[in-house]
Amino acid sequence: MIGKKMEVALNEQINAELYSSYLYLSMSAYLESLNLRGFAHWMRVQAREEEGHALKIYDHIIERGGRVTLGAVEAPPTEWDSPLAVFEQVASHEQKVTGLINELVDLATSENDHATRSFLQWFVDEQVEEEDSANQVLEKFRLVAAAPGGLFMIDRELAERK
C-alpha cells in the first residue's frame, strides 16, 4: 500500500509530466508555424514520451493501492523568440524535471517506500537521457550558428527521430 504523502507527490508528478507533454506539443505547433517540420516532429515524439511517463506513474499508483487524482494542467507558452530559444527552454525544463524526480526519490527514501524508490530509478535514468538529448540538439545549434542552411540540416536530422 502506498503512503498518502507519496500518493500526493506522485499525483503532482503526473501533472508535471502532462504539463511537459503539453509544453512540447505547444513547441511543436510553434515550430510547425515556422515550417520546421523536423523540429516539430521531434517535439511531437517528445510530447508522446512525456504522456507515457505520466501513465507509467498513474499505473504505479494504482498498482500500489493508491488513488490517482488529476488536476488542471497549466497552459504552456505558445511563442518563442527562435527555434534556439525553444531548445534552450527544453534543456532548462528537463533540468527542472530532474529536480522533481530527485525530490520524489528523496521522499520515497524518507518514507521507507522501497517499491516506489525502485520504480523511480527508471525515471532517474530516463532524465539523464532526456537532458543529454536536449543538450545534443543545443550543441548542434551552436555548431551551425554561422553556417547558412545549418538550421535546415538539423531540421532534416530531427525529422528522423523515432
| Residues ≥6 apart with Cβ < 8 Å to 52 | none
Which CATH number, 1.10.1200.10, 3.90.105.20, 1.20.1260.10, 3.40.718.10, labels domain 4-158? 1.20.1260.10
Q: Rounded distance, CA 81 to CA 100, Å?
A: 27
pLDDT computed for residue 28 by the predictor: 98
pLDDT computed for residue 162 by the predictor: 87
Domain ranges of the chain: 4-158
pLDDT computed for residue 120 by the predictor: 98
pLDDT tens for each residue of 73-106: 999 999 999 999 999 999 999 999 999 999 999 9
76 in Cβ contact with 26 (< 8 Å): yes
Residue 58, all three cell numbers: 498513474
DSSP state of 76: P
pLDDT computed for residue 147 by the predictor: 86
CA atoms within 13 A on the CB side of 9: 19
Nearest Cα residue to 157 out of 31, 45, 39: 39
> Cβ of 78: how many Cβ atoms within 10 Å?
10
Which amino acid, one-letter code, is at 38?
A: G
pLDDT computed for residue 69 by the predictor: 98
Q: Rounded distance, CA 146 to CA 148, Å?
A: 6
Mean pLDDT of 8-12: 98
- Model confidence at 148: pLDDT above 80: no
Please state whether 142 falls in left (phi above 0), alpha (psi between -120 and 50) or beta.
alpha
pLDDT computed for residue 146 by the predictor: 80
pLDDT tens for each residue of 101-131: 999 999 999 999 999 999 999 999 999 999 9
pLDDT computed for residue 17 by the predictor: 98
Q: 153 falls in which pLDDT band (50, 70, 90)?
A: very high
pLDDT tens for each residue of 20-71: 999 999 999 999 999 999 999 999 999 999 999 999 999 999 999 999 999 9
Q: Cα dist. 153→10, 29, 113, 147 in Å?
A: 39, 20, 47, 10
pTM, two decimals, is 0.95
Between the two ends of the chain, the Cα-to-Cα distance in Å is 37
